[in-house]
Amino acid sequence: MNIGEIARRAGVSRSTVSYALSGKRTVSAETRHRIQAVIDELDYRPNAAARALKEGRTRTLGLVIPPASLRLTDMQLRFVASVVEAAARADFDVLLSPSGGDHDRSFERIVTGRRVDGVILMEIRLEDERVNRLERTGLPFVTIGHTANPGRTWWVDLDYAALVARCVHHLADLGHRRIALINRSTELVAAGYGPAQRALAGFTEAVHERGLTGVDLCCGDDPASGEACLEQLLDRHPDVTAITTVNEAALHGVQRGLDRAHLVVPRDLSIAGVVAPHWAEDFRPPLTAADVPTEMGGHAVDLLLERIATPDAPPRHLLLRPPVSLRSSTGPAPTR
Amino acid sequence: MNIGEIARRAGVSRSTVSYALSGKRTVSAETRHRIQAVIDELDYRPNAAARALKEGRTRTLGLVIPPASLRLTDMQLRFVASVVEAAARADFDVLLSPSGGDHDRSFERIVTGRRVDGVILMEIRLEDERVNRLERTGLPFVTIGHTANPGRTWWVDLDYAALVARCVHHLADLGHRRIALINRSTELVAAGYGPAQRALAGFTEAVHERGLTGVDLCCGDDPASGEACLEQLLDRHPDVTAITTVNEAALHGVQRGLDRAHLVVPRDLSIAGVVAPHWAEDFRPPLTAADVPTEMGGHAVDLLLERIATPDAPPRHLLLRPPVSLRSSTGPAPTR
DNA sequence: TTGTAGGCGTTATCAC
DNA sequence: GTGATAACGCCTACAA
């Protein structure tokens, strides 16, 4: 089924059908209706490939996700869902590419085969070869997280430094003097993974500013690591009275560790984190946390569409700093 | 950058470049190398839209996911990741469409605009309009889960009935006489959602076969519902000594409920489920469970590629029945 | 208000 | 072993 067939059956030329569809020139009401009737009858829709070839754009966005072999965190997956949803609202489709490093076949196909009008890149490293690759091709892209020199590129990110700092200040205000940070994994920190590094930076600075004692721990993205991490903390730093964390995935393990140590939150220990609302609400007691917004994917899509529309516009960034929602996991420091 | 430009620079015709790339006719080693040199230099890759237009296929698969507004379960998200990964291995890209009902713009675009060579449909209802829609268009598709008349379509599914039955038998063998099923939500059961209905059917039959007393409960896909559900169970049916569940997402809540009631698993209560390995291993104690395989997405992709390659082949199905992994959450029924 | 025709970048048929 | 050329289905300048 193609436009020529519609034209034939409606007794008009192909261009008339095309114009009736696009509205880019006036078509008499009568012809328009006749054409529409045929279209409805045959359930015709223009061939996307032909249109893309002619127009030079695909109405498709590429979303580069970490390879599934590294099990995606809940936060990453929610992000994917929100991107797809936001794109659909703008009548864009989303093409997924699971590629970690560069030189990935699927990444190359998407980037250089003109399969997409723009790309969203997740899980950015401070030095990221894929960013260079995209800059060279000239394909519009937006990153989630930013690289070492963030001025040149378009990105949306969470201000982990500020958010962790806020948690620290909140805990300090409650009288806590010894605070621990449960960060992401050692490997991520070593690999130059921005969120982990900035969380640490914000923690260190706030702790220093308030004259507190800080302990920072790396922790894998899973409950078992969380439990181990908490045990280690209680063992080596028993005088810590508050914890701040950016590691959602470890949270259940942390909770288990607390239960096993018979610690009552917030009586014995306060916790504040940077965490998605549903994780915070699933914690017992509900976790005081900077609520990671669900609409980050939507912001990324908005930025990307804007960049596609105005390729020469100066780079725009979005550094999100959601407020800390006070729940029940933080309280006055225990007086010993 | 297009094939003509490559041809010009290599001093050959466009067809020669095309054949050098595809290998569909012999090209002398010398010309081949000359062409390859130019391609490497300019980092040329064929335009996907042009190729799709000419070949009539896109090397892209569509994956229809539930709209993000209904928060995707961990199992669904893992499934998406595995599909993308498997498709990438076969050099196929994946286009995502978040569409619940029919008449969805994004669904229509994908199905009828020839944007994809085939579709994978998740979250099938026993009566599913999207399946009818796809059958009418003739686009190859594979469903995860099956409809009321499964003979006609291609699908891969988990044999929930058999798996739940196995759990029941295992518990019966351990001496349990009163067993509860924690199923998915009331809404899903009411909507004719296959897994929930078959889990119930398998449960009911096995319970009957062994002459047991069965209690079946619906439970929302989240920890809070799990906790509420367990409380209700303990309250109304205090004589139940074993639970079987297909509701991963409620598991943490169930655990919390058990803790609050000071019940020790498996001493006071045994639990066996149909659950992904990482959920089972995160439970305390580790959960005896039929391990939902991670490669379901891969199977779906294999089936779909096969169907695309041989459109007239008779329907194939895959009803997976992974073994129950014995962990530590099941034990002899308590003697009172 | 409508029709004609050329071209987007590829692949494949035909000819040499 | 290689080159010219005709499609694939759409959009849009140009012509009427």
High-pLDDT (> 90) share of chain B, %:
77
The pLDDT score that the predictor gives to residue A69 is: 59
Nucleotides of chain D within 7 Å of a protein C-beta?
A: 1-5, 7-13
C1' (C8) to CA (B48) span, angstroms: 12
Listed ranges A104-113, A258-267, B104-113; the one with the highest mean pLDDT: A258-267
Tokens 């509420």 correspond to B228
The pLDDT score that the predictor gives to residue A102 is: 59
The pLDDT score that the predictor gives to residue B148 is: 83
Higher pLDDT, A71 or A160: A160
pTM as predicted? 0.92
Residues of B with Cβ-Cβ distance to A68 under 8 angstroms: 78, 81-82, 84-85
Residues of A with Cβ-Cβ distance to B77 under 8 angstroms: 72, 74, 77, 80-81
Confidence of residue A74 (pLDDT cuts 50, 70, 90): confident
**What would the mean pLDDT of B251-265 be, rounded to a whole number?**
94
Angle at B96 between CA B94 and CA B99, to 5 degrees: 150
Q: How far is CA A134 from the centre of its chain?
A: 19
Order across the sheet with B288-291: list the strands. Answer: B213-217, B178-182, B242-245, B270-275, B288-291, B324-325
Task: Check whether B83 has a pLDDT greater than 80.
Answer: yes
C1' (C3) to CA (A168) span, angstroms: 72
Tokens of B49: 């839209």
Task: Check whether B49 has a pLDDT greater than 80.
Answer: yes
**What would the mean pLDDT of B32-57 be, rounded to a whole number?**
95
Minimum CA–C1' distance nucleotide for A3: D9
3-state secondary structure of A138: coil
**What would the mean pLDDT of A126-146 be, rounded to a whole number?**
90
High-pLDDT (> 70) share of chain A, %:
97
Confidence of residue A105 (pLDDT cuts 50, 70, 90): confident
Phi, psi of A16 (to 5 degrees): -65, -40
Concatenated DSSP letters for B18-31?
HHHHH-SS---HHH
Burial of A56 (0-12, 13-18, 19+ CB in 10 A): exposed
Report the distance separating Cα A221 and Cα A198, nearest Å.
17
Quick one: which of B70, B67, B58, B59 has its CA closest to B107?
A: B67
Q: Identify which of B58, B85, B98 has the shortest CB distance to residue A49.
A: B58
Confidence of residue B66 (pLDDT cuts 50, 70, 90): confident
Mutation target vs A (from B65, B75, B84, B136; most A CBs, 10 A cutoff): B84
The pLDDT score that the predictor gives to residue A273 is: 96
Nucleotides of chain C within 7 Å of a protein C-beta?
A: 1-5, 7-13
Could you tell me which chain B residue has the CA closest to the CA of A79? B68
Burial of A138 (0-12, 13-18, 19+ CB in 10 A): exposed
Number of H helices, E strands in chain B: 14, 12
Tell me: the pLDDT tens digits for A210-222?
999 999 999 999 9
Burial of A137 (0-12, 13-18, 19+ CB in 10 A): middle
Task: Check whether B71 has a pLDDT greater than 70.
Answer: no
Report the distance separating Cα A73 and Cα B182, nearest Å.
26
Report the distance separating Cα A220 and Cα A250, nearest Å.
7
Q: Identify which of A50, A68, A108 has the shortest CB distance to residue B84.
A: A68
Determine whether the distance from the CB of B101 to the nearest atom of strand D is below 7 Å: no
Average pLDDT, chain A: 92
The pLDDT score that the predictor gives to residue B103 is: 64
Could you tell me which chain B residue has the CA closest to the CA of A51? B49
Do A99 and A91 touch, CB atoms closer than 8 A?
A: no
The pLDDT score that the predictor gives to residue B70 is: 62
Concatenated DSSP letters for B56-116?
S--SEEEEEE--TTSPPPHHHHHHHHHHHHHHHHTT-EEEEEE-SSSS-HHHHHHHHTT--
Task: Check whether A130 has a pLDDT greater than 80.
Answer: yes
The pLDDT score that the predictor gives to residue B191 is: 83
| Domains, chain A, with CATH or none | 3-50 (1.10.260.40), 60-158+296-320 (3.40.50.2300), 160-293 (3.40.50.2300)
Confidence of residue A68 (pLDDT cuts 50, 70, 90): low
C1' (C9) to CA (A108) span, angstroms: 18
Start-to-end Cα distance in chain B: 80
Tell me: the pLDDT tens digits for A305-332?
999 999 889 999 999 999 999 999 999 9
Task: Check whether B48 has a pLDDT greater than 90.
Answer: yes
Integer angstrom CA distances of residue A27 from A16, A30, A51, A127: 7, 8, 21, 54
Phi, psi of A333 (to 5 degrees): -65, 140
Report the distance separating Cα B254 and Cα B229, nearest Å.
8
**What would the mean pLDDT of A245-266 be, rounded to a whole number?**
94
Tokens of B48: 């996907």
Tokens of A86: 């936001």
What is the amino acid identity at position A164? V
Tokens 């130019």 correspond to B38
Task: Check whether A233 has a pLDDT greater than 90.
Answer: yes
Confidence of residue A334 (pLDDT cuts 50, 70, 90): very high
Confidence of residue B267 (pLDDT cuts 50, 70, 90): very high
Tokens of A10: 């409606």
C1' (D11) to CA (A86) span, angstroms: 28
Start-to-end Cα distance in chain A: 80
Mutation target vs B (from A61, A78, A84; most B CBs, 10 A cutoff): A84
